[in-house]
Amino acid sequence: MKFDERDLYTGLSALHWATISTSDPRIDKSFYKGILEKAGSKALELGCGAGRLLLTFLQEGFDVQGVDISGDMLSVCRQHANAMGLDPVLYEQQMQQLDLPDRFNAIYIPCGGFQCVMGRRAALETLRRCHAHLEPGGILAFNVAPTHSFYYWGPKEIHAWPGEWKQIANKELENGKRLLVYHHKIFEDTVAQYAVRERRYELYEGDRLIKEEIHTGQTHWYHRNELMWMLELAGFQDVNVKGDWTDETLNSEHKKEMIFVATKNGDK
């Protein structure tokens, strides 16, 4: 199965992400801010979306540029930036085709965005391109969900695809309209380690449905050692894995996030 990686971030989907961008508690902010403070100077956010972290860091005086696959998301980011008096440097590119004129002291990929790159070859190419865009001694950081979040089912869990639609959001918009969001899983391959999900977006004016869209996307999952090897293949020399937005090395007590922090060799 192949899908357009942009699909889950266009149209009403971009509108949904825009509402998340303004209301999200930013539990990852402190961790990535620590990376920027350690690396210093110029940084790049891959999968910047509507600017949830990017604009916050710009407000705080960090020099951060942004890349996203979706022109719709970047348009929202520019609108938010304009309202905040900011003028971010933004590029519309796929991560695996990253090709920018600058080199950076830090690159970070928030929100599990790395897991949305479709295919292992494309994912490895993403890491290689990140390595190429870092200055010597530069840091790459990104988070992915622990493997058990996707992979290990209890003995009584039997899954049939497609799954049932479940509501995941009910957002009242500034224009008085309301956006309802549903999702379900339509396929999962536990050998190839990916799942396919659909999201249905319903836009209401009062009680009247005025627009409906369905968007599809894939999510890949990774084991810790698998990603460590991929980072080494991409050229990184020093790879550490942290757990749950702490500075602790990943262990069995960490249930929410694996955060990979990889450093480019200082003389390359």
Residue 38 belongs to some domain of the structure? yes
63 and 105 within one domain: yes
Residue 107 belongs to some domain of the structure? yes
pLDDT at 262 (0 to 100): 98
Domain boundary among 219, 234, 250: 219
Residue 145 belongs to some domain of the structure? yes
101 and 228 within one domain: yes
122 and 41 within one domain: yes
Residue 113 belongs to some domain of the structure? yes
186 and 100 within one domain: no
Q: Print the domain residue range for 81.
A: 7-149+220-263
189 and 242 within one domain: no
pLDDT at 19 (0 to 100): 86
pLDDT at 24 (0 to 100): 74
Residue 156 belongs to some domain of the structure? no
pLDDT at 87 (0 to 100): 98
pLDDT along the chain (268 residues), means of 10: 77 89 83 96 95 96 98 95 98 98 98 93 98 98 82 55 91 92 92 92 97 94 96 96 96 93 85
* pLDDT tens string 91-101: 999 999 999 99
187 and 131 within one domain: no
Q: Are strands 194-205 and 208-220 parallel, antiparallel or unpaired?
A: antiparallel
Residue found under tokens 């890949």: 220
pLDDT at 179 (0 to 100): 96
pLDDT at 70 (0 to 100): 95
pLDDT at 60 (0 to 100): 96
Cβ atoms of 235 and 268 within 8 Å: the answer is yes
Residue 59's CATH number: 3.40.50.150
137 and 42 within one domain: yes
* Interatomic CA distance for residues 138 and 28, integer angstroms: 20
251 and 202 within one domain: no
Residue 159 belongs to some domain of the structure? no
The CA-atom distances, in angstroms, between 97 and each of 133, 212, 227 are: 12, 31, 19
242 and 213 within one domain: no
14 and 52 within one domain: yes
pTM, two decimal places: 0.92
How many folded domains does the chain comprise?
2
pLDDT at 162 (0 to 100): 87
Of 155, 153, 157, 151, whose CA–CA distance to 224 is shortest? 151
Cβ atoms of 217 and 112 within 8 Å: the answer is no
Residue 59 belongs to some domain of the structure? yes
* pLDDT tens string 165-208: 999 999 999 889 999 999 999 998 988 999 999 999 999 999 99
Residue 178 belongs to some domain of the structure? yes
pLDDT at 159 (0 to 100): 67
72 and 118 within one domain: yes
175 and 88 within one domain: no
